[in-house]
């Protein structure tokens, strides 16, 4: 029997304080009924402010269940409504109603804010950073509380308390946005924190990304401003019908507490002797409190976030506590992660404990060189009493922590006294994968952990060193993998909004290399593959979530990049005068020059240019911009012909002739004829075999080489590359104990030493873009139409892998596919969710079957392909 799961609104995981007055409604289906499609639906909306007694009922004859338009008048600011849905199937039978789900709007505009931004006197820590500030305001509630809402943001990072109790479970709030354009605020239900009588609100604010040091080569401070500020609006509805609003304004006071400094890169210093346990209680008497100043409302929009908040999502106990060869105490958590420590410790007053966080060991010691100008160090000063501590306004990328000064005879903490707290944007997990090869499973887990660690408010390149920036090229190649593993719709669409704002308003239509853009003009501006995120990633999100609005919202940015941002030569291709990053981190590039790979960077740039022009032509058609669609389709043909003249010889060979160049040309359909494509695929196979199946691609080629081989009928070569364990390969880091994806194929050398390049991270997701191929080809599921309305089940077995399984919670419902090879048979079980259809093609068969929803079981004879395919060796090879 088909069931409807609770509805969702827009792309929100939670629907308190959203910014959309007319939120679109989606619902998923559960059940395995055969050929079930929705014929019509009923939406029931309870709006107490409109009619407290009678629900509103809306009916429609439609099969749509994803992002259905809001059927009634827009919600007012602060208004709540309860929504549930039922659907009628093809047999005329109605499903049960879904569970009711509440949506509540926040504040829509500047006019809805009566609070003022407030700032405290600047106080500097010994290291030159700003000391975190404690803001507080006592107030009186004259009757029992019916409802309380706190609307809050800061220029900096905040943590709020009411009457001594922490508000919410967000961390690193309000997150990092392009602060000159958008500043996110959050909404909290604080009803349970408020009492009749005396109350107090307290908010601690630290530098965060707003005014801390950011960037490499020493970085810069005060990029967005030189002081922290708070905006807080506490609205209280009393049972007697009256309302009370507590605004941040000049009546608040400020002070400092035990957090001496807290920086993104360098960590936190906490002095427990300065604890103020009563600072957010009503009756605090503190003569050291200072007045605050009201500051100007920023020009940036104050907006409700489209992304889930950053949260503590997991804790890990130590795997091992040991002493290094030099006698240092090291805690190993067994997993490279992002977050911080939580410790419980007591010891002599003024005893200082220092925690240094690193990703790897070198020669048995914590390896700090890859951190560059980042200390990644937290310090606590004890008070003589038991202390339970974790930092508030910093985070680290680490597996190992060196502990200096722990108050025990050995200097080692007990395992129960220390744990690692895993932190990331709290996206809903949507995708799972496993197969018969344990190392490939570990690879997939490394991809997932790499994503978790680099989705901290924005999609970053690395979480540990003096960088942690939103590099556009990294997410451009990784977005398809990311959007399978987790629901990225809200987070990435919000980030793309910032990309567009900075591109159009700040960068003369050039897509910045990083967003938020803090690196200035010292780096090359317009970059193919990086800037192409403006075109490719909205399209990837549309394919996964089926939301035309993402394309609509980004369309101006797409056009601006293609028409104005890209420097062109007279032939329409990229200007030959531009510096290009190209196939970044090709394994043949020298450690100190990661752009100097085998493939001509301008071939990469121009292949991408043809592709993005094709993509915007399709986007224009989807959005019914027919004139643009015709124009860009024509432009794409001209550019492709020019690409062919420049890079494809009369005999059909590419110049240069590399794994990356051929993979790009096959994946982007750049050849003149099917015969040229077939010849190129054969040549790619030769290159792969000649390399002894070791990878020869960097950022541009890595996501495309396995798909290029597979679509060319050479999937077994792709499997041999996947299963290769020699460096460079995907499994080489597994053999070296990696638990996340590395930045370089050889971030750690076979002898255990760290790559000598100054840019070496052990937590980068870009090379994990192979995950999309694992899902689509190995497990065999991917969307055949946008939003997974039609699903492709086309697994291609290979190598020594004898089984695989993938599960994906699509916008319509759960998609499942599992297969195994057993007794000469290929056995597959597929689940197609209600209200969708599927295309199914089994290995070795040419027929593609179209089916409706339901569960399907297949068994066919199976003859394994030749394995392994021999490498092509040089004559002098043994």
User: Which is catalytic among the residues 10, 467, 502, 676?
Assistant: 467
DSSP string, 377-429: EEEEE--SS-EEE--SS--EEEEEEEEES-SSSSSPPPGGGEEEEEEEE-PPB
234, 245 contact by CB (below 8 A): yes
Q: Is the pLDDT of residue 878 over 80?
A: no
Which of these, 507, 508, 524, lies nearest to 516 by C-alpha position?
Answer: 507
Q: Is the pLDDT of residue 442 over 90?
A: yes
Average pLDDT over residues 308-333: 98
Q: Mind listing the pLDDT tens digit for each residue in 329-339?
A: 999 999 999 99
Those residues whose C-beta lies under 8 Å from the C-beta of residue 288, and which sit 6 or more positions away, are 255
Q: Which CATH class is domain 431-778?
A: mainly alpha
Q: Mind listing the pLDDT tens digit for each residue in 48-97?
A: 988 888 999 999 999 999 999 999 999 999 999 999 999 999 999 999 99
Q: For the chain, which residues make up each domain, given as ranges?
A: 3-105, 110-306, 311-425, 431-778, 788-861
110-306 and 311-425 in the same fold = yes
Q: Mind listing the pLDDT tens digit for each residue in 641-660?
A: 999 999 999 888 998 899 99
pLDDT of amino acid 652: 85
Report the share of the chain in percent with pLDDT over 70: 99
The CATH-assigned architecture of domain 788-861 is Sandwich (2.60)
Average pLDDT over residues 384-404: 98
Stated as kind and residue range, the H or E segment containing 536 is: helix 533-545
Q: Mind listing the pLDDT tens digit for each residue in 560-608?
A: 999 999 999 999 999 999 999 999 999 999 988 999 999 999 999 999 9
CATH topology of domain 3-105: Immunoglobulin-like (2.60.40)
In the CATH scheme, what is the code of domain 311-425?
2.60.120.260
For helices 659-667 and 674-690, angle between their N-to-C axes, nearest 10 degrees:
150
In the CATH scheme, what is the code of domain 110-306?
2.60.120.260
Q: Mind listing the pLDDT tens digit for each residue in 516-538?
A: 999 977 676 899 999 999 999 99
Those residues whose C-beta lies under 8 Å from the C-beta of residue 448, and which sit 6 or more positions away, are 485
Stated as kind and residue range, the H or E segment containing 569 is: none
pLDDT of amino acid 875: 59
Q: Mind listing the pLDDT tens digit for each residue in 275-285?
A: 988 899 998 87
Q: Catalytic residue at 743?
A: yes
- 53-57, 77-81, 685-689, 763-767: least confident range: 53-57
User: Which is catalytic among the residues 268, 434, 676, 743?
Assistant: 743
The beta-strand segments (E) located in 711-833 are 781-783, 790-793, 803-809, 814-822, 825-832
Stated as kind and residue range, the H or E segment containing 362 is: strand 361-362
Question: How high does pLDDT run on average in the chain?
Answer: 96
DSSP-assigned letter for residue 561: I
Q: Is the pLDDT of residue 255 over 50?
A: yes
835, 792 contact by CB (below 8 A): no
**Maximum CA extent, the chain:** 92
Task: Please count the other Cβ atoms lying within 10 Å of the Cβ belonging to residue 164.
Answer: 14
Q: Catalytic residue at 428?
A: no
DSSP string, 633-649: HHHHHHHHHHHHHHHB-
């Amino acid at each position: 029997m088909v069931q409807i799961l609770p509805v969702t609104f827009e792309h929100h995981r939670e629907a308190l304080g959203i910014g959309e007055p007319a939120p679109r409604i989606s619902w998923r289906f559960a059940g395995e009924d055969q050929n079930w499609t929705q014929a019509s639906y009923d939406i029931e909306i309870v709006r107490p402010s409109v009619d407290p007694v009678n629900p509103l009922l809306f009916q429609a004859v439609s099969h749509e269940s994803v992002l259905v338009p809001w059927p009634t008048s827009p919600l007012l600011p602060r208004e709540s409504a309860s929504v549930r849905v039922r659907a009628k199937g093809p047999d005329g039978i109605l499903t049960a109603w879904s569970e009711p789900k509440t949506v509540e709007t926040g504040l829509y505009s500047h006019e809805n804010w009566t609070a003022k931004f407030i700032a405290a006197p600047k106080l500097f820590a010994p290291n030159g950073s700003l000391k975190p500030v404690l803001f507080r305001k006592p107030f009186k509630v004259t009757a029992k509380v019916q409802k309380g809402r706190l609307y809050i943001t800061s220029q900096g990072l905040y943590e709020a308390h009411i009457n001594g109790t922490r508000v919410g479970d967000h961390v690193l709030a309000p997150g990092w946005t392009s602060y000159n354009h958008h500043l996110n605020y959050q909404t909290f239900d604080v009803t349970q924190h408020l009492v009749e009588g005396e109350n107090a609100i307290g908010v601690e604010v630290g530098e965060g990304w707003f005014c801390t040091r950011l960037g490499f080569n020493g970085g810069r401070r005060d990029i967005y401003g030189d002081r922290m500020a708070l905006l807080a609006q506490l609205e209280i509805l009393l049972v007697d019908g009256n309302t009370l609003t507590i605004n941040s304004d000049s009546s608040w006071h400020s002070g400092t507490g035990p957090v001496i400094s807290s920086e993104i890169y360098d960590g936190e210093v906490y002095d427990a002797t300065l604890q103020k346990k009563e600072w957010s209680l009503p009756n605090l008497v503190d003569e050291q409190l200072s007045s605050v100043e009201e500051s100007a409302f920023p020009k940036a929009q104050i907006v409700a976030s489209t992304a889930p908040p950053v949260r503590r999502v997991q804790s890990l106990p130590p795997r091992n506590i040991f002493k290094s060869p030099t006698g240092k105490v090291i805690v190993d958590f067994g997993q490279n992660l992002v977050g911080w420590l939580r410790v419980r410790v007591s010891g002599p007053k003024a005893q200082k404990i220092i925690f240094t966080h690193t990703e790897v060991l070198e020669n048995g010691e914590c390896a700090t060189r890859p951190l560059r100008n980042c200390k990644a160090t937290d310090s606590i000063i004890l008070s003589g009493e038991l202390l339970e501590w974790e930092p508030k306004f910093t985070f680290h990328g680490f597996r190992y922590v060196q502990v200096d000064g722990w108050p025990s005879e050995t200097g080692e903490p007990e395992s129960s006294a220390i744990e690692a707290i895993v932190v990331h944007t709290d996206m809903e997990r949507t995708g799972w994968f496993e197969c018969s090869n344990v190392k490939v499973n570990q690879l997939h887990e490394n991809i997932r952990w790499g994503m978790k660690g680099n989705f901290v408010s924005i999609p970053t390149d690395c979480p540990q060193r003096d960088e942690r920036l939103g590099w556009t090229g990294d997410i451009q190649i990784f977005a398809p993998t990311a959007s399978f593993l987790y629901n990225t719709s809200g987070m990435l669409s919000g980030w793309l909004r910032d990309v567009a704002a900075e591109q159009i308003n700040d960068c003369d239509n050039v897509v910045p290399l990083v967003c938020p853009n803090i690196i200035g003009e010292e780096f090359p501006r317009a970059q193919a593959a990086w800037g192409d995120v403006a075109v490719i990633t909205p399209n990837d999100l549309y394919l996964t979530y089926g939301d035309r609005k993402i394309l609509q919202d980004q369309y101006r940015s797409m056009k601006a990049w293609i028409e104005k941002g890209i420097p062109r030569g007279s032939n329409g291709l990229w200007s030959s005068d531009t510096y290009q990053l190209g196939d970044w981190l090709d394994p043949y590039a020298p450690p100190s020059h990661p752009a100097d790979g085998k493939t001509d960077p301008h071939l990469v740039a121009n292949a991408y240019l043809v592709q993005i022009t094709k993509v915007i032509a399709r986007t224009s058609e989807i959005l019914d911009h027919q004139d643009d669609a015709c124009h860009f389709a024509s432009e794409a043909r001209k550019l492709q012909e020019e690409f062919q003249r420049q890079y494809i010889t009369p005999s059909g060979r590419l110049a240069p002739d590399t794994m990356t160049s051929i993979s790009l040309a096959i994946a982007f359909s750049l050849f003149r004829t099917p015969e040229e494509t077939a010849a190129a695929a054969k040549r790619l196979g030769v290159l792969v075999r000649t390399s002894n199946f070791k990878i020869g691609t960097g950022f541009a080629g890595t996501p495309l080489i396995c798909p290029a081989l597979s679509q060319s009928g050479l999937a077994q070569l792709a499997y041999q590359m996947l299963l290769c364990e020699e460096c460079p390969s995907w499994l080489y880091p597994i053999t070296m104990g990696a638990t996340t994806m590395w930045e370089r194929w050889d971030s750690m050398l076979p002898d255990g030493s760290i790559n000598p390049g100054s840019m070496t991270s052990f937590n980068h997701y870009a090379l994990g873009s192979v995950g999309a191929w694992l899902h689509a080809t190995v497990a065999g599921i991917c969307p055949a139409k946008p939003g997974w309305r039609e699903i492709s089940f086309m697994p291609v077995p290979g190598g020594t892998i004898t089984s695989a399984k993938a599960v994906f919670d699509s916008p319509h419902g759960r998609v499942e596919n599992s297969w195994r090879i057993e007794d000469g048979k290929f056995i597959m079980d597929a689940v197609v969710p209600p209200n969708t259809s599927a295309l199914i093609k089994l290995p070795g068969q040419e027929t593609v079957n179209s089916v409706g929803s339901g569960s399907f079981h297949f068994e066919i004879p199976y003859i394994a392909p030749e394995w392994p395919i021999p490498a092509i060796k040089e004559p002098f090879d043994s």
